[in-house]
């Protein structure tokens, strides 16, 4: 059996008729930027995320940059965030001249809200929790701190479209939500893409302008902006795929249930889904001993795995060169134990059974 970690080529194949129609439609209209499909996507995705407004962008990274910009983050400010994320959660802060202040993670790989208050200083201008793997952080605690200290919250929800926490959707809980539609995300474009969400009209209007070179309309510029637009082709693809998202999430949740049934929990750890969570399994990450040997064992039997992320941000050369080294115990411990198993929507029960049995056998 050969089981790849992702199967994008299957998605492309199953959807090729519709995708080709979308490409043709774009060519026929020949409006490639700022077309009506972009506005349509913004409306639909805002609805999906339970917010008033969404702004379509060219990446999750730019969503983070613009979100920080909307909050006025600048040189000398501090932003609280976890060290175990994709690099752009931190680089977006650094590029604006601000300092990332790390808070270690809990067993579920998400920021541990119990340590946030200790890291708040006069310079703290935002808290940026990351909803890793499709699981929303403990937002009740985070929002309580936010209200108490009057510090706004940016949700890095790049991996969590459709996830819920006490029935609130990712991206609707903090002041601004940031999403990626990178090809490997659950809602994926055929290239880079992303969007931000908010209930605040002033943020929406400013973001709409900032992503389009700061323009209001065609000629007037009140703030110097960026070029962060989502193009019409990607928006058209996302409008189509948004209609399939619930089905995809259902399948990934079913896959998780199968793993839960088949995997021997004595040897491996993965966080439970709590009754108030609705996780969407962008990734399925287990925590294990003897990871290197297990990867090799699985590879030999045709099973491909991944690690998100093997080097935590605070241990990246770029970070250490700038700020030096500071230990984050749980993040470091997890970075040596985490292993991402295939969970894509094209897996069969037989394949999940085979992956699970192979892992169980390894530890026998
Ligand atoms: C947690 C997290 N934040 C931010 C990003 C950045 O998104 P993008 O790759 O679309 O720029 C990603 C994407 O990998 C992510 O997983």
Determine the pLDDT at residue 53: 98
- Whether the CB of 88 sits within 6 Å of ligand 1: yes
pLDDT band (50, 70, 90) for residue 1: confident
Q: Can you tell me the mean pLDDT for 208-230?
A: 93
- Contact predicate 159/283, CB 8 Å: yes
- For a pocket test of ligand 1, which of 6, 56, 59, 60 has the largest count of ligand atoms closer than 8 A to its C-beta? 60
Q: Alpha-carbon distance 232 to 42, whole Å?
A: 12
Query: What pTM was estimated for this model as a whole?
Result: 0.97
How much distance in Å is there from the Cα of 220 to the middle of ligand 1?
Answer: 31
Give the nearest ligand 1 atom to 194 CA.
10
pLDDT over threshold 90, residue 216: no
Residues 6+ apart with CB under 8 A from 273: 135, 256, 279
Q: In this structure, what is the dihedral angle of CA atoms 224, 226, 227, 230, given to the nearest 10 degrees?
A: -120
Determine the pLDDT at residue 69: 98
pLDDT in tens, 27-76: 999 999 999 999 999 999 999 999 999 999 999 999 999 999 999 999 99
89 burial level (CB within 10 Å; 0-12, 13-18, 19+) = buried
- Whether the CB of 160 sits within 6 Å of ligand 1: no
CB-facing half-sphere around the CA of 167: CA atoms within 13 A? 0
How much distance in Å is there from the Cα of 60 to the middle of ligand 1?
Answer: 5
- Whether the CB of 59 sits within 6 Å of ligand 1: yes
Which pair of tokens denotes residue 261?
């049934």
- Contact predicate 283/135, CB 8 Å: no
- Contact predicate 287/268, CB 8 Å: yes
pLDDT over threshold 90, residue 218: no
pLDDT over threshold 90, residue 217: no
Q: Can you tell me the mean pLDDT for 346-364?
A: 97
pLDDT band (50, 70, 90) for residue 190: very high
How much distance in Å is there from the Cα of 1 to the middle of ligand 1?
Answer: 31
How much distance in Å is there from the Cα of 353 to the middle of ligand 1?
Answer: 30
Residue written as token pair 């639909």: 44
How much distance in Å is there from the Cα of 309 to the middle of ligand 1?
Answer: 12
> Which stretch of DSSP H or E encloses residue 79?
strand 78-81
- Whether the CB of 159 sits within 6 Å of ligand 1: yes
Give the nearest ligand 1 atom to 181 CA.
10
Report the nearest-CA residue for atom 8 of ligand 1.
60
Q: Alpha-carbon distance 234 to 38, whole Å?
A: 8
Residue written as token pair 């605690």: 141
Q: Alpha-carbon distance 119 to 97, whole Å?
A: 19
How much distance in Å is there from the Cα of 83 to the middle of ligand 1?
Answer: 14
Q: Alpha-carbon distance 3 to 65, whole Å?
A: 36
How much distance in Å is there from the Cα of 358 to the middle of ligand 1?
Answer: 31
pLDDT band (50, 70, 90) for residue 205: very high
Percentage of the chain exceeding pLDDT 70:
100
pLDDT over threshold 90, residue 23: yes
- For a pocket test of ligand 1, which of 159, 178, 308 has the largest count of ligand atoms closer than 8 A to its C-beta? 159
Q: Can you tell me the mean pLDDT for 330-357?
A: 98
Q: Shortest CA distance to 238 belongs to which of 347, 134, 161? A: 161
Sign of the CA dihedral 250, 255, 260, 265? Answer: negative
- Whether the CB of 182 sits within 6 Å of ligand 1: yes
Q: Can you tell me the mean pLDDT for 280-294?
A: 98
- Whether the CB of 155 sits within 6 Å of ligand 1: no
Domains and CATH numbers, the chain: 8-242 (3.40.640.10), 245-363 (3.90.1150.10)
Q: Alpha-carbon distance 19 to 12, whole Å?
A: 8
pLDDT in tens, 113-136: 999 999 999 999 999 999 999 999
How much distance in Å is there from the Cα of 35 to the middle of ligand 1?
Answer: 25
Measured between alpha carbons, how far is residue 360 from residues 243, 263, 326, 337, 364 in Å?
A: 37, 6, 36, 16, 6
The string of DSSP codes covering 22-78 is HHHHHHHH---BS-HHHHHHHHHHHHHTT-SEEEEES-HHHHHHHHHHHTT--TT-E
- Whether the CB of 133 sits within 6 Å of ligand 1: no
- Contact predicate 185/160, CB 8 Å: no
Q: Alpha-carbon distance 175 to 157, whole Å?
A: 12
């Amino acid at each position: 059996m050969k089981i790849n970690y992702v199967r994008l080529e299957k998605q492309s194949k199953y959807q090729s008729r519709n995708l080709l129609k979308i490409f043709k439609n774009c060519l026929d209209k020949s409006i490639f930027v700022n077309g009506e499909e972009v506005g349509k996507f913004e409306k639909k995705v805002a609805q999906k995320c339970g917010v008033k407004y969404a702004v379509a962008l060219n990446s999750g990274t730019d969503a983070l940059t613009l979100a920080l910009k909307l909050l006025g983050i600048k040189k000398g400010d501090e932003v609280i965030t976890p060290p175990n994320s994709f690099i752009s959660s931190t680089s977006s802060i650094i590029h604006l001249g601000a300092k990332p202040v790390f808070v270690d993670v809990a067993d579920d790989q998400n920021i541990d809200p119990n340590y946030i208050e200790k890291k708040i200083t006069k310079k703290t201008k935002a808290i940026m929790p990351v909803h890793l793997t499709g699981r929303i952080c403990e937002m009740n605690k985070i929002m309580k701190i936010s209200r108490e200290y009057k510090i706004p919250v940016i949700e890095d929800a790049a991996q969590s479209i459709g996830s819920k926490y006490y029935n609130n959707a990712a991206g609707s809980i903090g002041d601004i939500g940031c999403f990626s539609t990178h090809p490997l995300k659950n809602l994926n474009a055929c290239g880079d893409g992303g969007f931000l969400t908010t209930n605040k009209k002033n943020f929406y209007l400013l973001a709409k302008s900032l992503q389009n070179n700061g323009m209001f309309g065609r000629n007037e510029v009140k703030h110097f902006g960026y070029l962060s637009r989502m193009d019409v082709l990607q928006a058209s693809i996302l409008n189509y795929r948004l209609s399939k998202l619930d089905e995809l999430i259902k399948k990934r949740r079913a896959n998780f249930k199968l793993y839960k049934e088949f995997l021997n929990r004595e040897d491996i750890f993965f966080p439970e889904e709590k009754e108030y969570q609705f996780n969407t399994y962008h990734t399925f990450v287990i925590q294990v001993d003897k990871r290197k040997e297990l990867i090799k064992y699985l590879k030999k039997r045709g099973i491909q795995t991944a690690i998100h992320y093997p080097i935590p941000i605070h241990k990246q050369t770029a970070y250490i060169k700038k700020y030096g080294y500071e230990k984050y115990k749980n993040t470091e411990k997890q970075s040596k134990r985490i292993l991402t198993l295939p969970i894509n929507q094209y897996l069969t029960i037989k394949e999940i059974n085979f992956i699970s049995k192979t892992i169980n056998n390894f530890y026998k």
